[in-house]
Chain A
Amino acid sequence: GESVGLHLPTLSVQEGDNSIINCAYSNSASDYFIWYKQESGKGPQFIIDIRSNMDKRQGQRVTVLLNKTVKHLSLQIAATQPGDSAVYFCAENIRSGNKLVFGAGTILRVKS
């Protein structure tokens, strides 16, 4: 089902450290997953995606890991910077409905 969060979890990290943001998705039939970054008052910005036939994908400073066994997705950000501070959402494409369902989101705060 769709996720709604009234109190978003917060991850606070020191600048330069690595960040790991986790997401549990709901539907075993989902075949495509995306991580988005949303800054205050703006629309979501694509970070990285992964299809269900993969378990890892790397981008620039970011890595997405997919564990289909436990329906878990994670986003790793290397050498976190103040500009990475935002809310991060995972989204899953539910194949039957061919639409994206967003997770609750995680606030990332980077301390200088």
Chain B
Amino acid sequence: GAVVSQHPSWVICKSGTSVKIECRSLDFQATTMFWYRQFPKQSLMLMATSNEGSKATYEQGVEKDKFLINHASLTLSTLTVTSAHPEDSSFYICSASPGQGATYEQYFGPGTRLTVT
């Protein structure tokens, strides 16, 4: 149980285009979903927290107009990287939680490798 999937697993796009990444909780309802970014040999950095049906809460320094997050249902959240640039190339990881906030266990997806050329 508690499986989280991400799609695509990897994507290559040209600079200036937009890319959408999906995060799904397959066997539970996720009240809260989190989006992280991880650069090579670095830790996971929280980008934003989203609760179903409400606007995402972005961490300081993360541009909400560039990283659009939609959490329209209890099993799906999407992250859209708009007007991607090479510096946005990274490993994007989502996690889903059945409760509110991080005190409930987070189940992580397998990640999406984004390369912007």
Instruction: Using CB atoms and an 8 Å cutoff, list the residues of chain A in contact with chain B.
Output: 2-8, 31-32, 34, 36, 41-46, 49, 89, 93, 95, 98-105
Chain B residues, CB < 8 A from A41: 91, 111, 113
Closest to A107 in B: B41
Q: Complex formed: what's the CA distance from A7 to B49 in Å?
A: 27
User: In whole angstroms, what is the CA distance A72 to B59 when docked?
Assistant: 25
Given contacts A2-B45, A41-B111, A89-B44, contact A99 B102 (CB under 8 A): yes
Contact residues of B between 6 and 44, Cβ < 8 Å to A: 6, 34, 41-44
Could you write out 24 A-B pairs with CB less than 8 Å apart?
A2-B45, A2-B46, A3-B43, A4-B42, A4-B43, A4-B45, A6-B41, A31-B103, A32-B103, A34-B105, A41-B113, A43-B6, A43-B109, A43-B110, A44-B93, A46-B108, A89-B43, A89-B44, A98-B100, A98-B102, A98-B103, A99-B49, A102-B43, A105-B43
Whether A43 pairs with B93 at a CB distance below 8 angstroms is yes
Q: Of the candidates A5, A45, A46, A105, which one forms a contact with B105 in the assembled complex, judged by CB atoms under 8 Å apart? A: A46
**Given the complex of chains A and B, what is the CA–CA distance between A100 and B34 in angstroms?**
10
Chain A positions within 8 Å of B44 at CB level = 44, 89, 102
Looking at the assembled complex, report how far the CB atom of A65 sits from the nearest CB atom of chain B, in whole angstroms. 20
Q: A101 to chain B: which residues have CB within 8 Å?
A: 46
- For chain B, the count of residues having a C-beta within 8 Å of the partner chain is 25
Residues of A within 8 A of B100 (CB): 98
In the complex, what residues of B have CB within 8 A of residue A36's CB?
108
- A99 in contact with B108 given A4-B43, A7-B41, A93-B103 (CB within 8 Å): no
> Which residue of chain B has its CB nearest to the CB of A31?
B103
B34 and A99 within 8 A (CB):
yes
| Interface status of B98 (Cβ within 8 A of chain A) | no
Compute how far the CA of A46 lies from the CA of B108 in the bound complex, rounded to whole angstroms. 8
Residues of A within 8 A of B106 (CB): 100
Task: Identify which of A3, A6, A36, A43 gathers the most chain B CB atoms within 10 Å of its CB.
Answer: A43
